[in-house]
Structure 1
Amino acid sequence: MRLTTFTDYTIRVLIYIGLRPGQLATIGELADVYHISRNHLMKVVHHLGQAGYIETLRGKGGGFLLARAPEEINIGALVRCTEQRSSLVECFSDQECDCRISPACRMKGVLNQAIDAFYAVLDQYSLADLISNKRQLTRLLID
């Protein structure tokens, strides 16, 4: 399974602000640190705010920070939230499937099991687990 760039950036944003509890971060700051487009980050930050993962403060001196403790941010739930529109294969889509073997194909069941296993692993981790090596991450991102 391949995660979308949106999910990748979402996790990176949360890691960065998770390393700096109580401190505001900005899109410009993250764009510089990760070398990511500001436009992509604006979409990610907007989504994270809508989903309740971060609090955003507008205006001069504004920015964003975690809305929940890192221990309360489950990685499986986060990935489900960001990947909800992504279909692994055509027959998983809500739209009509043009695959001729779809009615008799057993691969869909196999892939569903694989996806369930994938999320079962992610469900075991929180943002706190991803930032438990704080010293190393801080050295790479902030210092």
Structure 2
Amino acid sequence: MRLLRSTDLALRVLMRLAVAGSASPTTRQVAEDMGVPYTHAAKVVAELQHLGLVDARRGRGGGLSLSEQGRDASVGAIVRTFEGEGDVVECEGTTPCPLNSGCRLRGALRRAQEAFFATLDPLTVREIVADPTGPLLLGISRGPQDG
């Protein structure tokens, strides 16, 4: 299974914010740290804020921080939210699959997808940034001005 770019970015943003400490990076800084366009980061951050996983403050001294709900959020739930509950393959669509009425593959793929999510369900954002990941994230998030 391949994650959507927005799902991958959402997880990386949450991980980055989980190790930010008292620093509150801006969306622009997070986008630069992650090497993604600002517009993509802004869209993902807005969704994470809507979900209550990220707090955003505007203006001087503003920035992003991970909410307590975000720290304890299930990685599986986050992935489900960004990926959606759709099937792995599109059987209906504009050109329906001719095997649709008797296909056994669709059910097998759905069960495999659910097993994938179930494996991620018990993991929290807090757990996926534990050592050695946290220090690595801090290393990549230091800009040139940090020395």
Aligned to 1:122: 120
1:16 aligns with 2:16: yes
- Residues 101-116 of structure 1: pairs in structure 2 closer than 5 A: 101-116=99-114
Find the residue that maps to 1:124 and give its secondary structure.
coil
Runs of 4 or more off by more than 3 Å in structure 1?
A: none
Aligned to 2:61: 61
* Structure 1 range deviating more: 66-75 or 129-138: 66-75
1:50 aligns with 2:50: yes
> By how many angstroms is 1:87 displaced?
4.1
- CA change 1:26–1:71 in 2 (3 A) is closer
Q: Which runs of 5+ in 1 are unaligned?
A: none
* Structure 1 range deviating more: 121-130 or 15-24: 15-24
> By how many angstroms is 1:85 displaced?
6.4
Aligned to 2:77: 77
RMSD: 2.0
Q: Which runs of 5+ in 2 are unaligned?
A: none
Q: TM-score, normalised by structure 2?
A: 0.86
Equivalent pairs: percent with the same residue?
A: 30
What CA distance in whole angstroms lies between the structure 1 residues aligned with 2:48 and 2:31?
Answer: 16
Find the residue that maps to 2:68 and give its secondary structure.
coil
What CA distance in whole angstroms lies between the structure 1 residues aligned with 2:76 and 2:95?
Answer: 27
What CA distance in whole angstroms lies between the structure 2 residues aligned with 1:106 and 1:5?
Answer: 29
Q: TM-score, normalised by structure 1?
A: 0.88
Aligned to 2:89: 89
Length, aligned pairs only: 141
* Structure 1 range deviating more: 73-82 or 62-71: 62-71
